[in-house]
Copies of this chain bind each other. A is one copy, B any other.
Amino acid sequence: MELYILWCLLCGFFRACIRMVCLSESQLLCGELEPSNREVGCESYVERTKHAMTLTDVARAAGVSPSTVSRILSGTARVTPETRQRVMVEIKRLNYQPNVLAQGLKRGHSRTVGVLTQELNSPFFNETVQGIEYGFEDSGYDPIFSGGHSRKSEERRALDVLRSRRVDALIVVGSFLPDALLLELAKETILVMVGRRVSGLEAQCVFLDNVQGGLDATTHLTTLGHRRIAFVTGNNNHPDSAERFQGYCTALSTAGIPFDPQLVVAGDFGEQSGLMAVDALLSQGVRFTALFAANDQMACGARLALYRRGIRVPDDISLIGFDDLKHVLYAIPPLTTVRQPMLEMGQCAARLALNLLEGKSPPEHTFSPTLVVRESTAMAR
């Protein structure tokens, strides 16, 4: 016991000595560095950028070899506590950050996952993106995002950017890329898709049961006594829209309501199209007491069209959306909608990619929608 205490004291002493040495050395170093720094002065910003510290710099400063520093950082070797301490001090002092470029090059993988989104600026995709960020927290992997601006060619370019960065895996959010390309991609890299189902790749797709969502929304309306329910579709033939429409049809027939094609209007998932859909419906004199829009953005547009004509929601017409965007909680009135757990889906996609990377078994990845009843729907008059 006494021996152990003595040992600790000794260690403490040594450590103190080391620190003193380091400090004086650091002062020396600063003294040496400053003149050259001043010399550069007001030149172009590029020149002014200091050379980033490298592992070799740290090694030199600590008086050990680069390998030792590397081993300390990766924790793959036993080193004397003293050496470790000395190195750690230098790392702190020099503010050293490992160069991931070099690491990636050497290790053959970048600990990076590429995320391809259609549109970085869309309330819909953002929650997913955020979920992905959360999902990678503390995993040792970092997501990097690249957006194709809803154009296929752009997406391809973004894909190349990601590929040339040697991402270890790829997460595709939505995307207009054809299935065939994705299948090809899946062969040469780890691929996870969210909000999209590619046949043959189901195990790597995180998706929502859109049919169920459409069914829930419509059933909610029919149980409130609505029989003339309009539907605004999303982008031409977009699977999400098609599936929600399928749910709509099923619910109608379950309720014994005949399908009326007049009640279906084409939109494109944007607010404006929701507005125009209602205008079209109304100007054609189509009667309806409820409207189901394939997403919240179109529901908002529809809401404005109704407001413009003095039609009250939900008193005159009930309105229901899809997605549960954050801001529709503050719509007037707060919008009844079908919640798509985008954050969770994003997180799931990240976990899925992680598991695939580490050869573990993938988590559950089909999500169910939830009906969120707020104030934009009411009993039919």
Contact B133 A356 (CB under 8 A): no
Contact B303 A330 (CB under 8 A): yes
Contact A332 B332 (CB under 8 A): yes
The A165-181 residues at the B interface (CB cut-off 8 A) are 165-166
Would A99 and B46 be within 8 Å (CB), given that A123-B123, A126-B120 are in contact? no
Kindly state whether residue A97 has any CB partner on chain B within 8 Å. yes
- Smallest Cβ-Cβ distance to A132: which chain B residue: B120
Give the chain B neighbours of A102 by CB distance below 8 A: 101, 105
Give the chain B neighbours of A163 by CB distance below 8 A: 52, 97
Kindly state whether residue A121 has any CB partner on chain B within 8 Å. yes
Kindly state whether residue A82 has any CB partner on chain B within 8 Å. no
Nearest CB in chain B: distance from A271 CB, A = 5
Contact A164 B98 (CB under 8 A): yes
Interface string of A191-214 (1 = CB under 8 A from B): 000000000000000000000000
- In Å, the complex CA distance between A187 and B34 comes to 13
Contact A121 B129 (CB under 8 A): yes
The A321-378 residues at the B interface (CB cut-off 8 A) are 327, 329-334, 356-359
Kindly state whether residue A36 has any CB partner on chain B within 8 Å. no
Kindly state whether residue A304 has any CB partner on chain B within 8 Å. yes
Give the chain B neighbours of A119 by CB distance below 8 A: 130
Kindly state whether residue A66 has any CB partner on chain B within 8 Å. no
Interface size band for A: 35 or more
Give the chain B neighbours of A50 by CB distance below 8 A: 187-188
Q: Give the copy number.
A: 2
Give the chain B neighbours of A147 by CB distance below 8 A: 130, 133
Contact B45 A359 (CB under 8 A): yes
Give the chain B neighbours of A166 by CB distance below 8 A: 52, 99-101
Give the chain B neighbours of A330 by CB distance below 8 A: 271, 275, 300-301, 303-304
- In Å, the complex CA distance between A303 and B147 comes to 33
- In Å, the complex CA distance between A100 and B188 comes to 18
Give the chain B neighbours of A52 by CB distance below 8 A: 163, 166
Pick the residue among B121, B160, B334, B359 that contacts A130 (CB under 8 A). Answer: B121
Interface string of A40-58 (1 = CB under 8 A from B): 0001111001101000000
- Smallest Cβ-Cβ distance to A301: which chain B residue: B330
Cross-chain pairs A/B with CB under 8 angstroms, 5 sampled: A45-B359, A99-B164, A100-B101, A101-B101, A121-B129
Q: For the complex of A and B, list the 10 residue pairs with the smallest distance between their C-beta atoms, beginning with the closest.
A: A44-B359, A121-B130, A332-B332, A121-B126, A101-B104, A97-B164, A300-B330, A101-B105, A101-B101, A271-B330
Supplied contacts A101-B102, A145-B145, A271-B330, 15 more A-B pairs, CB within 8 Å: A45-B190, A46-B359, A50-B188, A97-B160, A100-B166, A101-B104, A101-B165, A123-B327, A133-B147, A271-B327, A275-B330, A297-B327, A304-B334, A307-B333, A331-B331
